[in-house]
Amino acid sequence: MTLSDLAQRVDAVARLTGRFVLRAGRVADEYFDKYRFEADPLLLDALAAEMAALVPSDTEVLAGLELGGIPVVTALGRHTGLPCAFVRKTAKEYGTARLAEGADVAGARVLIVEDVVTSGGQIAISTGQLRELGAKIEHALCVIDRQEGGAEALARDGIALRSLLTRADLDQAAAAR
């Protein structure tokens, strides 16, 4: 399956129209519902297979952000063989009381994995928290970059965003359908 084919499938499955409040508080008339492509095991696997080529060669741990980054990082881990960490928005107050479950991030070169990036806000927050735990983070990888300033905001925090698909790719896929 080509990247163009993947873009068409993701666009057909995940693009919704209506009125949506985004994480940053902005209202949008289109929304990419990541759970629609994450819930399709064949599509998610195809996306992860393509994303594997975008993983920096020095990556030691893949870190998926709660909630949407978790299925993506798990599928990506299958294709790269790299261990995964599952990063909560806040550390739980019981059990292990950890922010990052699974693979240890302390001292490791960590790649942040997210589903959809708009402003990059959660990546920036989680990266700061993981860096406090000793993680070395220079890159983040997402399935869809909405191209609304997230990559630029992350660059100011020393994080280079890599994306499998962009809003432009999905718009082109929609026009081709």
149 in a known ligand binding site = no
Annotated binding-site residue? 58: no
Is 135's pLDDT higher than 80? Answer: yes
Confidence of residue 93 (pLDDT cuts 50, 70, 90): confident
* Contact criterion met (CB below 8 Å) for 124 and 154: yes
Is 116 part of any known ligand binding site?
yes
Instruction: Check the annotation: does 92 bind a ligand.
Output: yes
Average of per-residue pLDDT across 135-157: 97
- Asked whether residue 27 is marked as a ligand-binding residue, the answer is no
**131: phi then psi, degrees, rounded to nearest 5:** -65, -35
- The model's pLDDT over 113-123, given as tens digits with 9 standing for 90+, comes to 999 999 999 99
Is position 118 annotated in a ligand binding site?
A: yes
Task: Tell me phi and psi for residue 133, to 5 degrees.
Answer: -85, 0
Query: Cα separation of 42 and 132, whole Å?
Result: 36
Q: All domains of the chain, ordered by start, with CATH?
A: 41-168 (3.40.50.2020)
* 23 labelled binding-site residue: yes
- 136 annotated to a ligand binding site: no
21-35, 61-75, 144-158: which range is least confident on average?
Answer: 21-35
Per-residue pLDDT at 23 exceeds 80: no
126 is annotated as contributing to ligand binding: no
